[in-house]
Structure 1
Amino acid sequence: MTMWPDRKRFAVTLSFDLDAETAWESSSLDGRRLTLRSMGAYGRRVGVPRILELLAKYDVRAQFYIPALIAEMDPNVVRAIAEAGHGIGCHGYFHERVDEQTPEQNLRILRDSKAVLERTIGREVNHYRAPVWEITPDVISSLVELGFRTDSSLMGDDRPYLVGGEPGQLLELPVSWALDDWEQFAYSAEPAVGGVIEAPDKVLSLWTAEMEGMRAYGGHFILTMHPQLIGRPSRLLMLERLIQCIQQHDDAWWCTPDDVYEQVRKGALDLPVHPY
């Protein structure tokens, strides 16, 4: 079992992918499909302010992964997130799938998106999550080359592990489809996304059960959420109930990727090395 700081039993990270308009690819940005485009815009216009208010209420620091195009479209929302004390990570330029790009294109996207985010918030950006969690070996190598500290795209464990480089220079913060609000709440008629929009109580039950499982096994409970989805009123109230539930456990270590990386850097966590 991983020994978390202060002998905490398990770790908790709230993360948000601010895909906004880029979630719907080019069909949302051609200037005609305004309804589809507005679904994404809701996340940055309405969802993010509500989320920031909720996080401040419970003194929770979170991690936001943001496509560079969104930082160019709406730099103020990205700055508001950073100024509230939350982490910022790269999430592609236009939320493009890396497995559909060449290694050279992926490297350029990484460099460019990192530079855009750093110019926007005025500080270094060293964390990454691949769009739709599709990551390739060349991207892992490029992350190491560019000095990224963490990735959060793989699913090879329920605790952090080291991947990439020799003997493992990139810290992986693994994710799970069970802990993604997209699988629960996303819906669009065209492009066809989702089948059933789940009730918040059902999702609260699922996520609470997963949290208790991570607590039992000493894992890292990482939620992946999208402001355009979790920012809807009923769902944000559900997230608040979940935060209240977790905060009842005094053996939870609330952390960001920077917090976990710092523990690894100090040699305080004994982590496995996996090839992927």
Structure 2
Amino acid sequence: NTTFSFIKDKPTSYFKRLSEQEAKTTNSFKSLITFSKKALIASYQVSEMIAKNMKVHTIGESLILPACKKIVSTMLGDEAAMTISKIPLSNDTVHRHILEMSSDIEKNVCGKLQCSDFALQVDESTDITNKAQLIAFIRFIKEDQITSQFLFCKEFSVTTKGEDVFNILNDYLDKWQLSWKSCVGICTDGGPSMVGCINGLVSFMQKKNANVITTHCFLPRDALMSKTLGEKFNELLDIVVQMVNFVKTKPVKSRIFEEISISMDSQHRR
């Protein structure tokens, strides 16, 4: 074979040197891959912390990464700080990581729901931009334990009628191939769009599953109950509210109240 004829007369040391260079290149490549993997894992971990603490995505690049570099540089030296600086934490990167983790969680949860009964809790809310949104939570059995999980937050297109709520839920269940037969319960606030006997959400759900159990959210129920406790109770509550407002109107009043509470060995200070 004449392809490598130019090296056939080379000494053994030449080939050993080539072998060593190849090994060094391979090791350097493996080290680079290992570092890139660790940097990526660290980026996902920081992105998760940013999401859980509801901070702006730019905080990773503007505060967290510079702070880590300062700490590492002081404790371990500049070389280690240079390594830390290679962790990707830009605004777009953090945003993308959060979306990827959210999608993965949703996929895992919906995968478990395909072989389990579940109950839904839905509520309509309006954000600061006056957009109506549907928030859904789900409860299901996981490893013999009842698990509650945030499911989704979807924006209404125009109206917020019972049919609109049902369509959002139905589209979501169809997307993940979930059966209405597995939905054993629905918890709502008791409004007409939710429990109306003709056009309410529950009426549409019962067409899909006649055995679904409807429950009333306890917060509105307590609010309704408080309106029927009688005039004397309301008068007492009014007095309490006036007292609290009087104490909280000025800082000096709060401090005086705290001193009085301390002198009386009360656990309630402010």
Same fold (TM over 0.5): no
TM range (shorter): under 0.3
TM-score, normalised to structure 1's length?
0.24
Which has a greater percent of helix? Answer: 2
For normalisation by structure 2, the TM-score amounts to: 0.24
